[in-house]
Structures are given as structure tokens and as C-alpha cells.
Structure 1
Amino acid sequence: MVFVRRKLILLAMQPVKLTRSQIIRQQAKAIFGGSVGNLVEWYDWYAYSVFALYFGAAFFPKANQTAQLLNTAGIFAIGFLMRPIGGWIMGTYADKKGRKAALTLSVLMMSGGSLMITFVPNFNTIGIAAPIILVLARMLQGLSIGGEYGTAATYLSEIAPKHRRGFYSSFQYVTSCLGQIIALTILLALQRIFLTPAQLGEWGWRIPFGLGALLAFSAIYLRRSLPETESFKNETVAESRKGSFAELLKYKKELLLIVGFTIGTTVAFYTFTTYIQKFLVNTAGFTKNESTTITMIALIVFMIAQPLSGLLSDKIGRKRLMVIYGVVSMVTTYPIMTALGRTHDFYTATLLIVAALVILSFCTSISAIIKAELFPANIRSLGVSFPYALSVAIFGGTAESVALNFKVAGHAEWFFWYITACSVVSLIVSAFIPDSDKHTKMEDNHISHITH
């Protein structure tokens, strides 16, 4: 009897073997939960840029359109400057307390910033306090998004099977694009169905920020129910080494590689997904409605291209795809931007932006896993978050300001060469990034390794 009892206890202690369908459902739940939160975060982040054409006058009324865009772009850049701090704080938190805890906290912070923007009075009501509150809200959102990228990248990479890491990594930008597409959809609906341009400029621009705050509540619920990754749960290093900046500095080469690689991709990404809407209006002469529609079509194609490029990387190798991106981007960026500045045809502009974004998908689809594979689990989130956020703050967050200042100076084409030069930097750095097929610090995190 005692033997039977012991046998039953031992059997109960054995891990439950899941069927293939159960494994797929468990994996899909983890990806969906992480991706939905990422979608909401990026929707809130992009809503600022998408609606900047309308709320600039509410905070900077005594200025022409270009000056208003410069002011709103400057605050956009301030949010980016908070991202390295957010990457440091949230990356450390994720490595110490878990990926799930950090992902939940980041959504909460983002929704708080959106609520502030929703209810802040305009300049005519409270004067200089209005843009100050706007800055504070963007700083909070910058802290949030600074940690979101690295933690979400770490989470997705740790739940992915080795032979599908490129594919799973691509969903980070799928949800990023979808967040912006939703923001653009709301703008189109408000523009063409519900509100007049005057109403949009007066109070309608507040609607998307309020919706973003409400959406965050569902994302928080989903992220609280996410399974934690086995890589984090099984980490056995001393607590003092988890998320330690001193530990991270042992990987100086990897940090420099991430910074260099991110320079070209972040400038191109924010040029063709964020600034391009203003470029079409302020330089090419399209209407606001036309620029919104063109940007939305291009983003849909860009989103679809992500998993396709991710699958391609799983076939031919991530390093090879990075080099292909660098070469093609270097050759095509200037001609595409020059043609965009000269065309007034809707379809031509759409095709040009689509071409640029499809090329960019070669890199964005695998950028998360490339970084995650460079670090061990105890500092992986911090290692991905901090150097990436630093590069994005310096180069991505200032892309609009650089472009607009070149335009004000009468040399808009100089910005085209600036994007090209940044692409060359990424191409050179790609040659020094280890081939993940041969060198990786990522253990095999198969689907069955996900636990609650």
C-alpha cells in the first residue's frame, strides 16, 4: 500500500505531456497576449504623431504650419529621450521580476500618459502649462515604450522554437504596424465621416488618446494572464547579477553592435512610417486625407511583409538577410525620397512608400531576435532594451526634426542623404554581428517550455 502511494505521488510529480494541438494553443495564447499589449502600446505612441497635424495649434497657436510641426516634433523627440531611461529601468525590472510583470507595468504607464493628453486644456485656457503637461505625458510614455520593446522582444524570442525565431520575432513589428494602422483608421473615420476639419482641430484629436487609455485596460488583463518563460523561471545566477548594469557592461561589443545596427533601421523606420505623412503634406503637396490614406495602405503591406520576411530569414539565415537589406536600402533610399518629393500622383506615391517599407521589412522582421540572441537570460531584456532605446532616442526620435530643419534651411534633399548614410552604418555593422546559426546565447526555448 505504501509502495502504491509513493508510486502515485511520483507520477503526480511528473510533468504533464501536452498534445501537439494543446502546445499550439498554448503558444498562440502567449503570442497573442504579448502582441495585443504591444499593439495597444504602439497605438498610443503613434496616436501622437498621427494627430499632430491637428493638435499643433492647440498648444502652439501663434505659428505657421511648419513651425507647429517643429514644436510637436520636438516634444515627440523628448519622449524618445526618455526611452533609454525606460529601457534601463524596465529592462532591469524584467530581468529581476519577470517578463510578464514588466510587460504589464509598461502598458499601465502608457495608458497614464494617454489619459493626461486626453484631458489637458489647450494653450488658450492654461497658457504655457498646456505644452508642459504635454511634455510630461510624453516623458511617461517614453519610459513605457523604452522598456516595451526590449521586454516584448525577449518574451517572443524565449517562447519561439529555434527554427522559427525569425517568424515569431516578426510579430513585434506586426503589432507595431497594426497599432499605427488602427490610429490611422480612427483618423480617417473622424476625417471623412464624423467630424469636420475644424472640429478635429478644436477637440476631435482628443478622441484617439481616450480610446487608447481604454484599450489599455484589456491589454493589462491579457498580460496579467500571460505564461512566464521558462528561460526566466530557470535562471540560476545570483540575484545581484539579474538585470545588473555592471553585468551588462561585460558585453561591450554586443552593445556597440546593437547601437550601430539600429542607427540605419530606426531612421528609415520613423521616416517611412511616421514622418512620411507630414512629408506628403508639407513637401509633396498632398492633402491631409490623401497622405493618411497613402500611409495606411503602405503600412498594411508593411505589416503583411513582416512574417514573410521572418520566414525567409529562417530559411536563408538572419545575417544574410541583414546584409541584403543594407545593400538595397543604401542604393534605393535617395531615389525613392527624391521621387516622392516630386510626384503629385496618389498611386505613384503609394508604390514608392510600399517599396521602401518592403525593403525595410527585411530588417525589422528580425531585429528583435538578432538582439536577444546576443545576451544570456539574466540580462537579456536589459541588453536588448537599453542600447536599442539609446539609438532610437538619438536617431529615430530626431528624424522628423532633422528633416524639418533641413526643409526650413532650404535643403530638404540633404535629409535623403542622411537616411542613406545611416543605412551604410547599419550595413557595415551587420558584417560584424555573429551568425546566429553558429553563435547564439539563446537556449532552445521550445513551446513546451512555457509554464504558468
Structure 2
Amino acid sequence: MHPSTSPPQPNRVRAILGACSGNLVEWYDFFIYAYTAIYFAASFFPKGDTTTQLLATAGVFAVGFFMRPLGGWIFGWLADTRGRKVSMIISVFMMCGGSLLIAVMPTYETIGIAAPIMLLLARLIQGLSVGAEYGTGATYISEIATPGRRCFYGSFQYFTIIAGQLLALFTVVVLQQTLSDEQLREWGWRIPFLIGALSAVVVVYLRRSMHETASKKDMHREGAGSLRAMFKHKRAVALVIAFTIGGSLYFYTFTTYMQKFLVISAGFDAETVSFIMTSALIGFMLCQPLFGLLADRLGIKTHMLLFSGLGVMLVIPLLFAIQGTQSPLMAFALVFGGLVVASLYTPIAGIVKAELFPPAVRALGVGFPYALGNAAFGGTAEYVALSFRAEGVETYFFFYVAAVLCVTFIASVLMPNLSRHGYISGDGRVEENTGMKDAQRLADVA
């Protein structure tokens, strides 16, 4: 980041709060769909067994992810050529518009096939918005953060993603305690979407006062925000995709899909699962700044190696153990254990990607390849898992997650030392130092 764009410390903290508050609202809106699907699935799809209806809602959830590449592209270009702040304000409006549409739309019984079509449209709008939010938010936080504390500051992006999930989960728990199951299925599920839609006003107010980190020189540089210029950094693009497919698939396996996995596979009732996941996610959220501080000391490359290596070794036994347990306490311990492994990745997820690109294509370089990988593997996590279950081979999903994490581990080995060669912390020679040279050095040390 150009030194002249760096704000005083109080303004830096306020700017990060502005970025993170919007992140919280966006992810609340996005995840409330996953947590209330069990109640509204029958409202938007033809009558059938529960697994079929959940499969349909998971399919719509996955389709929302496939709008992320378009959002990452459009808003990456906007952030790189018009500023990070403009991009983030527009994205909040879009997310809340999608939530408002879901909150008020008629059911399948009322308007027939138009109901799932409208639901799909709302998810497409939200998917476009989330594709915008992640890349621009990660870029903004990495640029405004204090040198030597970038991973700590970066940890607040996933802190607020998890807080958004928790807020969504807490909202569901409150509704479960105050409304009957019948009321939730008839109309109560609409309340969380309405809450998300109304939250836009506060977020827009906070984001209007944010400090802009993109310099005019970078925004007007030739090729700024263009895909052609981004793909000149082909090794960086490949690394972002490789990190994303393993990180996102693992993250969504132990967060959104875990909510259903504990019900339909482990056999817990919905209320017990809500309390298990709430407790586990609170612990996971609190891990973020702690692991961010640790990453500032150990380095990003070390954390990526630890996450992907431990993930490959532990994800299969963890999922088998969760599937077989009958104890809520043991289920919590196992889920939280899986999330602790994820904490090696989540605080640095945005920083590692932002370090790989120069300012003129940074938001695009972070957002677009991330959205591709996230759509293909993160967004389809539930759908793939439920499909395996429908075919009677649910455990194949466990091995699928481990195999994808192997790709992330290989990319972590090939990644250069970003403190030396990253565009924010180092000399910007990422392309020259990515490849088998670092793998050979690692082998020599071993």
C-alpha cells in the first residue's frame, strides 16, 4: 500500500470496524438461509421426503455460490478502479435486497413453480454480493493493517464471518424457544431474513466514513482491474484457487453442513444441534485473533502447511467419530477440534491472497479466483455430501474432503515466503519464487 494512503491509528481501527460490520451483516444474511432451510424447505418445493427437500434447498444454496465469480469479477474491477469503499457499500445493499425478497415472497402453495424461481433469484443476488464482499474486504483489511500485525487484523474478517453465523444461529435458537415448530414452518422462518434486510442502514452509515486505501495512481494504472492483467500473475491465481478449494470445503463442512450432519447422520435433535454448534462456533470465533497473532510470529507459510497437513490427517477420523457419537458433549469436542484446525487457515485466508497481487489488480486477484474455487468446492459441500448420502455412500464425502486438502497442502509447499516476496510485506517477486525451487529447499531441510 502506498504510504500516503495509510491513516492514523484511530482512523485505522474505525475503518476496520466499518469493514467488519458489513462483513458480519452480509454473512448473517447468507448463512441464515442454511440454518432455516430445515423449516422453509417445504414452503418452496413440491411435497416429498425431507432429504429430497433439503437437497433442493442445498442446490439453491450452491447456485448462490456460482454467482460469486461474477461478483468477484465485477466488484473486483470496481474496487481496483473506483475504490474499495464504493464496492463495499454497494455489496451491502445487494445482500440485504436479497434477504428482503426471501422474507416477503409467497410460497409454492400460493404461486407454484414461481416460488422456487424467486428463491433462486434472491440467492443469485446474495451470491453476487458475497463474491464482492470477500475479495474487496480482504484487500481493504490487508492494506490498512499495521505491518507486523496483518494476520491479527486479517483475523477479524473470519471473526465477523463466524459472528454472522453465530448471530444467524442465535436468532434461530431464540425463535425455537419462543415459537412452536408449526409456527416456525408457517411464518417464523421469515423473521431472520427481515432482520438482515433492515440492518443495511447502520452498515452503510459506518462504511461511508471508511478511509479509502486505493491510491489514484493505482486506480488509473494501465490494466487496473482487468482480467488480462490479473492472469499475468498466473502462479498467484493458481495458489489462490488451490488454497481456496481446501480451505472453503473444510470450513463449510464443519460449519454449515455440520448443522445438518449432526441431525441426519449422528441422530441429534435440531435444538441440541443448535446448542452444540453455537458453543463450537463461539470457541472458533475467539480462536481467530489468537491464531492471527500466532501467524504474525510463525509466518503465513508455516500456518498454511500446518492447516493443510493436519486437515488431511484428521478430517476422516473426525467425521467418522462425529457420525458415530451419541454424546452431545463428545460431538461438541469433535466439532470444535475440527474448527481449531480450521483456525490455522481462517485468520490468514485473506492476507495470504492479498500478498500475492499488486494493488492495481489486488481486489480482482483476491476475489475472482477465490470465488471460482469457493463456488466449485465450498458452495457444493452440502450438495455433494447429501448426494453421497442419497446414494448410500455418505462416508465417501469424508475421503473427498481429505483429497481436496491434499491439493492445498501441495500449494502450501510451493508457496514462496511472503514476508520476503509478497507484494505488501516483501519485494513483490511472487511469480519468480513460486514453484519447485521452494519444494526442493523444503526437501533439503527435511
- TM-score of the alignment, normalized to the shorter chain, above 0.5: yes
For residues 247-266 of structure 1, the aligned pairs below 5 Å read: 247-266=229-248
2:381 is matched with which residue: 364, 384, 399?
399
Give the corresponding residue for 1:216: 200
Alpha-carbon deviation of 1:235? 2.9
2:231 is the alignment partner of 1:246: no
Give the corresponding residue for 2:403: 421
Q: 1:238 to 1:222 in 2, by over 3 A?
A: closer
Instruction: Deviation per CA, 1:228-269: give whole Å up to 9, x if none.
Output: 11xx12534745421011111111111011111111111010
Give the corresponding residue for 1:449: none
Give the corresponding residue for 2:191: 207
Instruction: Deviation per CA, 1:6-57: give whole Å up to 9, x if none.
Output: xxxxxxxxx9x99xxxx43222101111100100000000010010111001
Give the corresponding residue for 1:4: none
Q: 1:293 to 1:58 in 2, by over 3 A?
A: same
Instruction: Deviation per CA, 1:64-122: give whole Å up to 9, x if none.
Output: 11111100000001100100001000110000110000000000000110010001000
1:302 is matched with which residue: 271, 280, 284?
284
Q: Distance in 2 between matches of 1:244 and 1:130?
A: 37
Is the 8 Å Cα contact of residues 90 and 382 (structure 1) preserved in structure 2?
yes
The AA in structure 1 aligned to 2:202 is S
Give the corresponding residue for 1:317: 299
The AA in structure 1 aligned to 2:10 is R
2:248 is the alignment partner of 1:270: no
Is the 8 Å Cα contact of residues 173 and 306 (structure 1) preserved in structure 2?
yes
Is the 8 Å Cα contact of residues 135 and 367 (structure 2) preserved in structure 1?
yes
2:34 is the alignment partner of 1:49: yes
1:225 is matched with which residue: 183, 189, 209?
209
* Bigger-Rg structure (1/2): 1
Aligned-residue CA RMSD (Å)? 1.4
The AA in structure 2 aligned to 1:309 is F
Q: Which runs of 5+ in 1 are unaligned?
A: 1-14, 445-452
Q: Which runs of 5+ in 2 are unaligned?
A: 427-446
The AA in structure 1 aligned to 2:190 is R
Aligned length: 422
Q: Distance in 2 between matches of 1:165 and 1:44?
A: 27
2:268 is the alignment partner of 1:283: no
Q: Distance in 2 between matches of 1:412 and 1:236?
A: 49
The AA in structure 2 aligned to 1:82 is M
User: What TM-score, normalized to structure 2?
Assistant: 0.93
1:123 is matched with which residue: 95, 108, 119?
108
Is the 8 Å Cα contact of residues 38 and 176 (structure 1) preserved in structure 2?
yes
- Identity of paired residues, percent? 49
The AA in structure 2 aligned to 1:154 is T
Give the corresponding residue for 1:408: 390
The AA in structure 2 aligned to 1:64 is D
Is the 8 Å Cα contact of residues 114 and 213 (structure 1) preserved in structure 2?
yes
For residues 24-423 of structure 1, the aligned pairs below 5 Å read: 24-192=9-177, 194-229=178-213, 232-236=214-218, 238-423=220-405
The AA in structure 2 aligned to 1:180 is Q
Q: Distance in 2 between matches of 1:90 and 1:237?
A: 13
Q: Distance in 1 between matches of 2:404 and 2:411?
A: 11
Alpha-carbon deviation of 1:365? 0.8
Is the 8 Å Cα contact of residues 235 and 377 (structure 1) preserved in structure 2?
no
Is the 8 Å Cα contact of residues 243 and 408 (structure 2) preserved in structure 1?
yes
357-366 or 24-33: bigger deviation: 24-33
Is the 8 Å Cα contact of residues 164 and 311 (structure 1) preserved in structure 2?
yes
Q: Distance in 2 between matches of 1:390 and 1:269?
A: 16
Q: Distance in 2 between matches of 1:311 and 1:302?
A: 15
The AA in structure 1 aligned to 2:142 is S
428-437 or 108-117: bigger deviation: 428-437
Instruction: Deviation per CA, 1:384-423: give whole Å up to 9, x if none.
Output: 0000000000001111011001111111111010111111
Q: Distance in 2 between matches of 1:117 and 1:291?
A: 25
Is the 8 Å Cα contact of residues 81 and 219 (structure 2) preserved in structure 1?
no
Instruction: Deviation per CA, 1:131-151: give whole Å up to 9, x if none.
Output: 000000000001000010000
Is the 8 Å Cα contact of residues 357 and 365 (structure 2) preserved in structure 1?
yes
Alpha-carbon deviation of 1:217? 1.5
